[in-house]
Structure 1
Amino acid sequence: MKSVKPKKALGQHFLTDLNIASRIAATVQDYTLPILEIGPGMGVLTQFLLQQGSDVTVVEIDKESVKYLTEHFPQLQGRILEFDFLKLPLDRLFPGKFCVIGNYPYNISSQIFFKVLDYKEQIPCCSGMLQKEVAERIASKPGNKAYGILSVLLQAWYDIEYLFTVDERVFNPPPKVKSAVIRMTRNSVTQLGCDEQLFKTVVKTGFNQRRKTLRNSLKPLLPENAKEKISDSIFDQRPEQLSVPQFIELTNRIASLRNM
């Protein structure tokens, strides 16, 4: 089997530049941990991970790519999973910690990072390539128009590095947008200092109406008798103005108002 035809429905854009692939592989911080590669395609990144002596498992939903990988990477026997990553029970696959890497399918990149967040205690490092726009959202800081739900939820638990931008011409087929490589490293936070589920709800509700002040966008989360009593200045700000610690403070304030 010579090559795999990229499938638009799967968001496939195969990286053709070996230098870029090598640089992505080098973003892994701990080669002693097992590595899960998402969407390996024809293995352009996989080959560099294997060269490092890493314990590599790949998950690929495309049957044609799975056939190609099986033929060209016999050393991956038993570790090529033909599966939808978003439905994969990662805690069954890896009993301990592991790293995640990939040239991520553009059509599900945000969903991939939300899933990584669900397994944050097992994933100390996650890196790879995705659309430049999504990478900028993940790495963005307060006050930036790209700052949003992904930024806050991921930065609560990970240190984010925007590493480099990748031109669209190094892919087959070339995507209509530029790409970027990022690295997320688990920070030292073990407890947020607030109700984690409420924190997620506050962040998502606030950014779903990002042009409104929090006083207005968060009304559905507040008890009726508290809405007119809020004097905290934090409620007069818009969501993109708040840092992660401020969102934690806001979450605790809402929790106390609910318990009045």
Structure 2
Amino acid sequence: PGTGILTKLLLERKSLSELTLIEIDTESVEYLNNHFSDVRLRVLEADFLKTNLPVLFPNDVALIGNFPYNISSQIFFKVLENRNCIPEVVGMIQKEVAERIAAPPGSRTYGILSVLLQSWYDIEYCFTVNETVFFPPPKVKSAVIQLRRNETTALDCNENLFFKVVKAGFGQRRKTLRNALKVLFGHIEFDHPLLSQRAEQLSVSDFVLLTRLFEKEA
């Protein structure tokens, strides 16, 4: 939340019942406590990445913020871990990361975060934020992205293996999956058209199918 520019706008919404700020910087926490006295607001001095969200928020919680660019990917992996209690995310992040998350199969920017987040969220790239609106201006453009939880409750495969297959597939993204997945499975005995493709060519459902194929072979 920093100095609370977004906080102020959120508190202007009368429909807002509760707002929790998680801020790691002690001086910022002190500033926020001194400048906001709304009864709907609580300010926590904590590291978001180390926060136990289900304990902190017994009910579902929407996540909104201008995310620190150096940990934005880690924040989204945290969202994945807590996907059953986070129905919606709206965040401003580096433009390249937003494009990667929203990228479709076949795109050069399509990657691990694309597949994993799109497995459980519908993703919308909302708009680009030019660097000139900041002072001092950063060296990169920004973007606002929205994630809304889809209807998937569980994938039709072993989800732990699914994560491993996706990460290994993109670990050597220029190789076909038959070669890229040797790091997980060694020599692959069976044949399937998906193994002749590269990871960036597969949709979420393709990765689910591929994971099931390896489950059967195990």
Structures share fold, TM-score greater than 0.5: yes
User: Which protein, 1 or 2, shows the higher relative CO under an 8 Å CA cutoff with sep ≥ 6?
Assistant: 1
- Is the aligned partner of 1:58 residue 2:21? yes
Q: 1:154 aligns with which of 86, 95, 117?
A: 117
* Structure 2: unaligned runs, 5 residues or longer: none
Q: Distance in 2 between matches of 1:220 and 1:111?
A: 24
Cα-Cα RMSD: 1.3
Give the Cα–Cα distance (whole angstroms) in 2 for the partners of residues 212 and 175 of structure 1.
Answer: 35
Structure-1 residue corresponding to 2:178: 215
Which residue does 1:126 correspond to in 2?
Answer: 89
Tell me by how many angstroms 1:201 deviates: 0.4
Structure 2 distance, partners of 1:220, 1:257, is: 16
Q: Assess if the C-alpha contact under 8 Å between 1:166 and 1:178 holds in 2.
A: yes
TM-score (structure 2 length as normaliser): 0.96
**8 Å contact 2:194–2:210 — kept in the other structure?**
yes
Measured against aligned partners, the alpha-carbon deviations of 1:52-104 in whole angstroms (never above 9, x if no partner) come to 13210000111121121111112268711111100011111100111000000
Give the aligned partner of residue 10 of structure 2: 49
Q: 1:78 to 1:49 in 2, by over 3 A?
A: closer
1:233 equivalenced with 2:193 (yes/no): yes
1:220: Cα distance to partner? Answer: 2.4
Q: Which residue of structure 2 aligns with residue 184 of structure 1?
A: 147
Listed one character per residue, the Cα deviations across residues 26-47 of structure 1 (whole Å, up to 9, x for unaligned) are xxxxxxxxxxxxxx11111111
Distance 2:49 2:135 in 1: 24
**In the comparison of the two structures, how many residue pairs are matched?**
216
| C-alpha separation in 2, matches of 1:102 and 1:173 | 20
Mapped to 2, the partners of 1:148 and 1:257 lie a distance apart of 26
Aligned residue number for residue 203 of structure 2: 243
Cα distance per residue 1:114-161 (max 9 Å; x no partner): 001111111110011000000000000001000000000000000000
Kindly provide the CA deviation profile for residues 151-204 of structure 1, in whole angstroms up to 9, marking residues without a partner as x: 000000000000000011222332110000010000001111000110000000
**8 Å contact 1:159–1:184 — kept in the other structure?**
yes
TM-score, scaled relative to structure 1: 0.81
Secondary structure at the counterpart of residue 126 of structure 1: strand
**1:88 is aligned to 2:51:** yes
Contact 2:125 2:143 in 1 (8 A): yes
Match of 2:137 in 1: 174
Q: Which residue of 2 aligns with 1:107?
A: 70
CA distance in 2, matches of 1:138, 1:148: 8
Q: Separation in 1 of the partners of 2:102 and 2:20?
A: 27
Q: 1 CA distance for matches of 2:36 and 2:109?
A: 39
Unaligned runs of 5+ in 1: 1-39
The one-letter amino acid paired with 2:176 is T
Distance in 1 (CA, whole Å) between partners of 2:177 and 2:65 is 36
- CA pair 77-51 structure 1, distance change in 2 beyond 3 A: closer
